[in-house]
A and B are shown apart, each in its own frame.
With several copies, the nearest count.
Chain A
């Protein structure tokens, strides 16, 4: 789960990490008042769950309350398109009004769980302000990586070593180390999967400030963080992905795909997408209905798949195990009727109750083509899309 910048800022502040003065505005009037309160100048920052806001015009320096109101007016209610959003962009429903900061140096700082080392790692770099992926590619030697003990966490001396390696001014070694320790504590205590401060700035008057921050929370740990769970903003997700989440489905919409995929199991779902691509067609989505799905869930999954206007055919690939094939078949029939979709369907069914499932689909009035196995499935879909023949 992603937090908005203003939410992340508050969480940081709660751990004693210095952040810029700022407040949230949902109307131009609030933006004007907030800028007034900051002395007449501010930065107006669109609150969306995506990076690359600056280049996309989502971050605007303004020199007057009127200009702030104008910027807010221009942003709120629109969709911001950045290189990290879908082509339709992410909706801006609020802006953060932050003080302008006189920056001397921009640094980078983050904490994440390193799957290879199996422990949280602090990453830092003197190349702040740019994407860490680019730094990693262009000047990997500039990245400082310090692994914390999986149990003890980050020791203070490690935080100090990072501050020293960042070459901050001597007077800032201690506050920077304290900031790093606090950030690590925040990461662990809130079950984050990523905390990123970019840039971490040294101001001209020698203070260290977390200017912009990004925080992702482990969805699986939200059960023990009810307060964080409340910060979710589903409006930032694709509408179909929202529906899928509500239904307990794992669904990822892909761009420019024509083959809707409905599969049980993540690995098999990826395999299905891959063979679709191999056959010269493009998968329209990843979808794992999960093991415990009931008819209604399958129906909703089908409905979501065919709601994507790019989809020309649906490939159903079920390997019955915990999920029985007859349940899946009934769900598909229900979903097709519910959605009113007349799209062609290609079905592969194996495993538990496969025969019953196939029989249900055969007897339905849907436009179904059957494939015997995985190798046959994709070419069949390609043929169905190309020729239309059932």
Chain B
């Protein structure tokens, strides 16, 4: 596998409501190996006549050895679902749910740190390794192609845009990871850059940042100190007015370091190749890899 998910992934989907069922189905259609569902009122049933549904994560893992948990539980119960997966020993937890209260995430993050689990999200599109037919999330599978470019992003559709630009230029992806747009989340840019740097199947990385917070500056530091592979980066939100939240809870300019210009400068300084506009990501990567 490339990073985090691949053909060894044994997927558990928690929250099989309308949205969860739709995406679980799409993940299976892409080739992901879904081994379990968890839903309090549907225990004993089979999802799509094939995948057993359990009443608790613990029971599901015991029965199926699931190793990646995908969460669609609505926001009021999302923190609890993450904790349930942590307590059940799930190695990788991917939380798609949008709108989890900030203070829930303060506590959840503190709980996850030091546990054996890694959390991706919440409010993220998930992740996909096209070369191994592992799609764990809500991204349109068809735009992806197997290849050597790792992608890490705070946003959803912008990631699709970037992937589309890459695929159109014949640049396939090793793994595409959406870390999510919330100010407090599980996995950071640095975490994923570290994985890509260590992954032999990844040759270069696209980093899609946004205004708000300082995670891009932390990424820049990591790129300067520890990355040998080329990184193409872009930061969106240059046109956003300060103090206003741009959709993502994390996308709000609260001080100088939250500005796009500051982040771009840090990344450029660190040696990243800056795509001058979000339309130039594919082209910039093509230039880097040629």
Would you give the shortest CB distance from A280 to chain B, in whole angstroms? 12
Name A351-390 residues within 8 Å CB distance of B: 351-352, 373-375, 377-378
For the complex, give the distance between the alpha carbons of A31 and B155 in Å: 49
* A136 CB contacts on chain B under 8 angstroms: 255
Would you give the shortest CB distance from B105 to chain A, in whole angstroms? 8
Q: Is the interface of A mostly helix, strand, loop or mixed?
A: mixed
Chain B: residues with Cβ within 8 Å of the partner, total of 75
Contact for B238 among A152, A191, A274, CB less than 8 A: A274
Q: Is A273 engaged at the interface, CB distance under 8 Å to the other chain?
A: yes
* B99 CB contacts on chain A under 8 angstroms: 220
Q: Is the CB of B241 within 8 A of A170?
A: no
Contact for A267 among B76, B111, B214, B248, CB less than 8 A: B248
Known A-B contacts A160-B40, A267-B159, A321-B156; the reply to A375 vs B84 at CB < 8 A is no
Q: Is A55 engaged at the interface, CB distance under 8 Å to the other chain?
A: no
Name A225-271 residues within 8 Å CB distance of B: 250, 252, 254-255, 263-271
Known A-B contacts A155-B80, A157-B83, A270-B210; the reply to A193 vs B244 at CB < 8 A is no
* B212 CB contacts on chain A under 8 angstroms: 115
* B55 CB contacts on chain A under 8 angstroms: 164
Would you give the shortest CB distance from B60 to chain A, in whole angstroms? 13
Q: Is A6 engaged at the interface, CB distance under 8 Å to the other chain?
A: no
Q: List the one stretch of B28-36, B138-146, B219-227 in contact with chain A.
A: B138-146
Q: Is the CB of B106 within 8 A of A150?
A: yes
* B195 CB contacts on chain A under 8 angstroms: none
For the complex, give the distance between the alpha carbons of A378 and B280 in Å: 13
Q: Is the CB of A264 within 8 A of B157?
A: yes
* B75 CB contacts on chain A under 8 angstroms: 220, 223
Q: Is the CB of A173 within 8 A of B160?
A: no
Q: Is the CB of A375 within 8 A of B279?
A: yes
Known A-B contacts A173-B40, A267-B181; the reply to A373 vs B208 at CB < 8 A is no
Known A-B contacts A118-B184, A157-B56, A193-B102; the reply to A224 vs B154 at CB < 8 A is no
Chain A: residues with Cβ within 8 Å of the partner, total of 66
Q: Is the CB of A270 within 8 A of B237?
A: yes
Contact for A271 among B106, B143, B161, CB less than 8 A: B161
Known A-B contacts A115-B183, A268-B161; the reply to A288 vs B77 at CB < 8 A is no
For the complex, give the distance between the alpha carbons of A115 and B211 in Å: 13
Q: Is the CB of A286 within 8 A of B240?
A: yes
Q: Is B190 engaged at the interface, CB distance under 8 Å to the other chain?
A: no
Q: Is A161 engaged at the interface, CB distance under 8 Å to the other chain?
A: yes
Contact for B239 among A118, A119, A273, CB less than 8 A: A273
Would you give the shortest CB distance from A218 to chain B, in whole angstroms? 5
Name B154-193 residues within 8 Å CB distance of A: 154-161, 164-165, 181, 183-184
Q: Is B81 engaged at the interface, CB distance under 8 Å to the other chain?
A: yes
Q: Is A302 engaged at the interface, CB distance under 8 Å to the other chain?
A: no
Q: Whose C-beta in chain B lies nearest to the C-beta of A136? A: B255
For the complex, give the distance between the alpha carbons of A188 and B80 in Å: 18
Contact for A266 among B107, B138, B155, B214, CB less than 8 A: B155
* B100 CB contacts on chain A under 8 angstroms: 220
* A373 CB contacts on chain B under 8 angstroms: 165, 279
Q: Is the CB of B277 within 8 A of A278?
A: yes
Those 6 A-B pairs whose CB atoms lie nearest each other, nearest first:
A267-B155, A266-B247, A265-B157, A267-B158, A375-B279, A271-B278
Query: In the complex, given contacts A113-B184, A350-B143, what are 5 additional A-B residue pairs having Cβ atoms less than 8 angstroms apart?
Result: A116-B213, A152-B83, A221-B101, A268-B157, A278-B277
**Cβ contacts A to B, 20 pairs, < 8 Å:** A120-B106, A150-B107, A157-B57, A191-B103, A218-B103, A220-B75, A220-B99, A220-B100, A223-B75, A254-B241, A266-B181, A267-B181, A270-B239, A271-B278, A277-B239, A291-B138, A351-B140, A351-B143, A351-B160, A374-B278
